Amino acid sequence: MESWYWIAEYGKVFCGYLFFMFLWPAVVFGSHLRGKETAYRFGFSVTVQVVIANTAVLMLGLFHILSPQVLAVLFYGVFFLTLLKKIIRRSGAFQVKEGWRRFRMHVGEYGLLILLLMFGMFYFSYGAFQVHCYGAGDLYAHHEWIYGLQEGKIFSDGVYPEAMHCFIYCLDALFGVRVYSSLMFLQGIHVVVLLIAVYLLLREVFHWRYTPLLALTLFLTLGVTNADQIYSMFRLQITLPLEFGLYTQFLCTLFLIRYLKSTHRVERKGKKSRYYWDENLFLFLMSLAASVSIHFYTTMMAFVLCGSFTVFLIKGLFVKERLVPVAAAVLCACVIAVFPMAGALASGIPFNYSINWAVKAMDGEETRELEEERSDAQITGKDQSIEKEKIQLSTFEKLKGIYGKGYAALYGQAGAAAILLLTAAVIVLCLVSRKKSPDWLGKICSGYPPLVLASFLFVLLYAAPRIGLPDLISDSRFCSTGHLLMTALMVLPADAAYSILLRFCRDRLLQLLSIVSAAGIYGLTIVTGQFHGYLFFELSRYDSAVEVTNSIIEQFPEKSYVIVSPTDELYPVVEHGWHEELLAFVQNVNTQEYRITSEHTFIFVEKKPLQYAQAYFFDGPGWLAQVKYKDIYWGKYSKKYPDKGASQAPDINASEISAEDARKDLIEYSNPWYTYTRLPARTILEAKAYEWCRKFAELHPEEMKIYYEDNDFICYYLRQDRDSQLNLGIG
């Protein structure tokens, strides 16, 4: 039954997402989208809809009229009025016959793409079905911001790009999808949009239309050997603003280069405009607006990626007829995205604290300290000054560092050497194609230089803080994007080979060979041990605690109960009931007078206290992934998170409570949160809670019972008369 519950929740998120992200704009903007190519329709839906949701929610909030009812009237009203209008006119929005005809013409290509998307969605959704707690601690802050929207308050924790929060709030307000479920499952679904965006951009890069599929196959199967890459891939499972917006950088680049290659000028009154305007520029504008609305880091990555491609189209950009429209598009995108934030700042809401954190992190000092292979205890103050001076490297040393701290660190010495040799070969091929080759070879290679430059720049971003340069995007969160570009670089020889063969072989034969090549990549990575590994979640609750919380929410009336536990239960229950901190509870029950007013009280106790936020690596079928990442990841991140840990399913790092622990004094910290995150302190706290529950149950056997128990976790249930509460203080 538990599995079916989560499958149903996943289905709710999936259906709500499909309707809101694709069906709503397809109906409302059907007249505009009719006759447009598939790439335009896709790009329009995933960018315009995010911008609309963000703008609508934030502007309603600025005018203090944000509520589910108002939002439902707005979105459902527009949808059904448009649908009614189309029914009256008997006009279709989807052109199903035309879509089926296109699919039949490219059945092999699209069939393989669908298979890859399903594989990717299953791989990145897998963890949420193994562990039902939030996969990362950041999700608690994002849940709090979405809860603020439910209360009608925008930017409840300070001004920060909130497009993802607005999108999830719309799923809750319009379809009743639990915020908890959206944060659990949305990114595993939304990653498909990222893969499609990459596919569409690579269609512009490669000459043979199946090569982008080979690149996606390699990305979805090839394992990584760097801890930062594992961390970045782990984040692709988690519903976080940065990962939610990664697709926008690829769409920004796609529609910008399409615009720069176009020759269309708008005609007005029989005269052509002085400037180049077309639909690609509009989608570039909306992609950029969506990027800024979701996360500033995605915008920075978009500029890096766009710059890699536009540098080879520089002549087309720096002409008045194109430069003015592009500048206007960038300005409009920023105004659209920033206007609600500016309104909030003007109303007195300050910036969120993480803005300052991101600025401070750019100096790269934290990354460099993590990389140092030395013992701080053995370095004097004078030596530390010398150590920091060493980071002032010469130009040659920095170039050498890009190899050692970049390519070699990410892919190992052998992998780095192979990548550089491949890069050199591609550069030579491109130079030859420009000077001495026939035109057809030049067309084949025309998209290669931007990809080579983009892959180099993302390696440079990774190496930058390690060679004394600013850390533009902290915590290596861009590594998944960099790995996508690197796997695309790896299939360049295949694209050149297939494109040349295309002149001598039948198209259908090469299609078949391409599909076999994709299957070969999958099989070869498994046979050679290069297949990717299972990822992890940061474990913060036992699954039994999650299931008990769901059971309480479903079975008991709203606001009739309180759950006593660490903070992690606060966010799932905040919309339905009350929450009491376990630390505060344990401190209060040792006083002479303490009462809880709720009729139903549930006390969560871990008999085997968890090592909080341990990196819990999954296990599963061999066709999906291999068990291989734990030691690689924790070999580095144990230095950054010494109080956490890493475990491999089915084993979980945990201690065990005892009567002796219950007699110890609570460990006091300047930040009480550490009582939950430090295992010795958590063990004492849980032991004291268990001992109190056991004694109180002996004193009040009719009121205090066990609601649930297993080997690791127990939930006590206290029912009392609201007009005559029991004194819980037995101190």
Average pLDDT over residues 572-591: 91
Cβ–Cβ < 8 Å for 256, 310: yes
Residue type, 704: M
Average pLDDT over residues 559-576: 92
Helix (H, G, I), strand (E, B) or coil at 601: strand
* Average pLDDT of the residues in 644-653: 94
The predicted structure's pLDDT at residue 379: 40
Q: Would the pLDDT of 366 be above 60?
A: no
Determine which helix (DSSP H) or strand (DSSP E) holds 497, and give its type and residue range: helix 492-501
298-319: average pLDDT: 90
Q: Give pLDDT, residue 266.
A: 60
pLDDT at 433 over 50: yes
pLDDT at 316: 80
The mean per-residue pLDDT over the stretch 368-378 comes to 47
Residue 503 DSSP code: T
Residue 431 has pLDDT above 90, yes or no: no
The yes-or-no verdict on residue 256 having pLDDT over 80 is: yes
Q: Residue 381: its pLDDT value, please?
A: 45
Identify the three-state secondary structure at position 231.
helix
Strand 704-709 to 271-276 pairing: unpaired
Tokens standing for residue 575? 């919309």
Burial of 497 (0-12, 13-18, 19+ CB in 10 A): middle
Q: For 418-437, what is the mean pLDDT?
A: 84
Q: What is the pLDDT of residue 385?
A: 43
pLDDT at 361: 55
Per-residue confidence (pLDDT) for residue 277, from 0 to 100: 81
Highest-scoring range by mean pLDDT, 30-44, 418-432, 612-626: 612-626
Q: Is 376's pLDDT higher than 60?
A: no
**Pairing mode of beta strands 265-268, 271-276:** antiparallel
Mean pLDDT of 607-620: 95
| Spacing of C-alpha 565 from chain mean position | 28
Question: For residue 389, what pLDDT is reported?
Answer: 43
Q: Give me the DSSP letters along 64-87.
A: T---HHHHHHHHHHHHHHHHHHHH
pTM for the whole thing?
0.92
Assess whether pLDDT exceeds 90 at residue 475: no
Of 194-208, 270-284, 629-643, the range with the lowest mean pLDDT is 270-284
Give the largest CA-CA distance in the chain: 94
pLDDT of residue 648: 96
Q: Across residues 442-446, what is the average pLDDT?
A: 83
Please say whether the beta carbons of 426 and 488 come within 8 A. Answer: no
What is the pLDDT averaged over residues 2-17? 93
Tokens of 162: 């909130």
- DSSP at 312: G
pLDDT on residue 386: 37
Could you report the per-residue pLDDT of 139-168, keeping only the tens digit for each?
999 999 999 999 999 998 889 999 999 999
Torsion of CA 226, 230, 231, 232, to 10 degrees: 100
Give the per-residue pLDDT at 677.
93
What mean pLDDT is reported for the chain?
88
**pLDDT at residue 383 above 50?**
no
- Strand, coil or helix: 580: strand
CA distance 722 to 53: 43
State the Cα angle at 706 between 704 and 707, rounded to 5°.
110
pLDDT single digits (tens) 163-177: 999 999 999 999 999
User: What is the model's pLDDT at position 93?
Assistant: 44
Read off the pLDDT band of 94 (50, 70, 90): very low
Q: Which residues pair with 563 in a beta bridge?
A: 579, 602
Can you say how many angstroms the Cα of residue 209 is from the centroid of all Cα atoms in its chain?
28
> Token pair of 183, please?
């944060």
Number of neighbouring beta carbons within 10 Å of residue 203: 16
Of residues 139 and 390, the one with the higher pLDDT is 139
According to the model, what pLDDT value does residue 228 have?
93
Answer whether 189's CB lies under 8 Å from 13's CB: yes
